[in-house]
Structure 1
């Protein structure tokens, strides 16, 4: 049952991701979506510019353990704590691998304003 629920969980095209992409597209910024930036990591960037070696992750507050609004479910608390801690550790490993290979990594939370996120991405792209 849990496995089936996890499989149904969307991996891309979240509401926040679509809002950020709309704002970038309106500014004339083009990007690749849901792409592995390099073979050394399994991480898939939400927005990727391979030529500029920039990868953006738009992290969900629950799944990636947001310190300000993430929470643990009441049921099966120990399992969820371990699961979310493992997700956060995997994110840090991916950041380290990508940074070591010369990539710039930007991470944003889903609660952040899409306009501010798009502005930060444009600044990183030098636009």
Structure 2
């Protein structure tokens, strides 16, 4: 049996429990958008040849929205580096940030507007911003 990347069973269980989509932050923003009459795609790849998916996508308006987790995407206010297994986490988290920037550049080059928000931002404020972008 292959050894786990996790430093403990508790860490492994915690990490496996993390959701890739439908986080509470995403759901709160989506509820707000839906209540305003906006319709969108969820967990959708704006560029079919490009495997990366946006959390919320407005295909006609060509707007890709990402609700980024503070830990995973390096929030300047809330990001932390775990104290254990630093040699694993530091490059992994840095690669996530690099991938985010690459995704933004590729989508922008293909004519998409990219909006990123942090999970700690107010769902109402995020929905207001998205609503204004879509309705322009």
Query: What TM bracket, shorter-length normalisation?
Result: over 0.9
Q: Which residue of 1 aligns with 2:117?
A: 108
User: Is 1:97 the equivalent of 2:106?
Assistant: yes
Q: Which residue of 1 aligns with 2:91?
A: 82
Which structure 1 residue ranges, 5 or more long, are not aligned? none
Structure number with larger C-alpha Rg = 2
Q: How far apart are residue 9 of structure 1 and its match?
A: 2.7
Q: Which residue of 2 aligns with 1:12?
A: 21
Which structure 2 residue ranges, 5 or more long, are not aligned? 7-11
The CA distance in 2 between the partners of 1:111 and 1:8, in whole Å, is 19
Structure 1 outlier segments of 4+, above 6 Å: none
SS state of the match for residue 73, structure 2? coil
User: Is 1:33 the equivalent of 2:18?
Assistant: no
Give the TM-score normalised by the residue count of structure 2: 0.87
- Cα RMSD, aligned residues only: 1.6
How many equivalent residue pairs? Answer: 127
The CA distance in 2 between the partners of 1:42 and 1:94, in whole Å, is 10
